[in-house]
Structure 1
């Protein structure tokens, strides 16, 4: 049995000061860094995803001048820009695989992305015999939700580390966590669990 850490979209455009800033994003970046410092050796793979949208076009309707903040959004995380970079508070030295998603199309789940070598998240997990995963990142009610549902569909037991996530909308985030729990995810306060060890 091996475990993976899934780090979802801890990027400048999703943290304070970004194009689609999520309150608490910088705190998540710092907390994930601390978690890696303490626990990186427990993971067979550490996979981090980034939105990586095309500068030209609307990326399949994902970008809009009049966004509804459900299916369409302001311009964000354009490939190669500072907004698409990892938040500087996230230290990525322990990341084993970097996944880019949303190139020309809407993409919420990290399972829709690929590494530069063309590997998929599902393929990486299978190749490393991953049966369990911890999920962290941004945003609870969008890309974290989608990534965790896809991990469960891939047959992985997922723990959502609730102190290492941040959502856009409080009510929608609560609903997303309830949905994930119903789908089989375990909701865990990572810091509290670490103290209990």
Structure 2
């Protein structure tokens, strides 16, 4: 039974100094790199996602000049910009698949994205015989939550490595983790994984 590591949106616009900075984002990037250094060999596949929004238009209402920070947001992670790049503290050498999501549309789950060759995360996991996945990244209360729920819906046993995630709002992040636990995800620190 194969295992995957899913790294969600560890990008410059979501870490300190970015357009939608999440407190602790740089620390997550560094910690995920250290974890990969020690554990990359434990995984059949390592998939990293990035928001990759179109520069033109509002990306299906995702970008808004007066965002509500629920369904609409300031401009962020525009394809090919520095904001959309991986945080430089994240070492991506062990990543086997890179996924772009949100091209012209709102997208939170990495399962909504595709690789350059057109594969979805579901395709990648099925093709590798993966039935278990560990999920890390940003933000707990948005894209980590959505990606984990989609992984569970795909029939994958999910562990959230709770010391390798960062959320936008503490209360929303706690609620997201509770929701994921109720959906069947295991919440565990990486040293216990």
Settle same-fold status: TM greater than 0.5.
yes
Determine whether 1:98 maps to 2:98.
yes
Local SS of the residue matching 2:47:
strand
Aligned equivalents of 2:164, 2:128: Cα separation in 1: 24
Provide the residue aligned with 1:29 in structure 2: 29
Aligned equivalents of 2:124, 2:16: Cα separation in 1: 31
Provide the residue aligned with 1:63 in structure 2: 63
Pairwise CA distance, 1:22 = 0.0
Write out the 4+ residue segments of structure 1 that deviate beyond 2 Å after TM superposition.
Answer: none
Pairwise CA distance, 1:6 = 0.2
* Residues 124-164 of structure 1: CA deviation (Å, up to 9, x unaligned): 00000001000000000000000000000000000000000
Local SS of the residue matching 2:18:
coil
Total equivalences in the alignment: 193
Local SS of the residue matching 1:88:
coil
Determine whether 1:107 maps to 2:100.
no
Within a 5 Å distance, the mapping from 1:1-197 to structure 2 comes to 1-191=1-191, 193=192
Gaps of 5+ in 2: none
Aligned CA-pair RMSD: 0.5
TM-score when scaled to structure 2?
0.99
Gaps of 5+ in 1: none
Local SS of the residue matching 1:100:
strand
Pairwise CA distance, 1:35 = 0.4
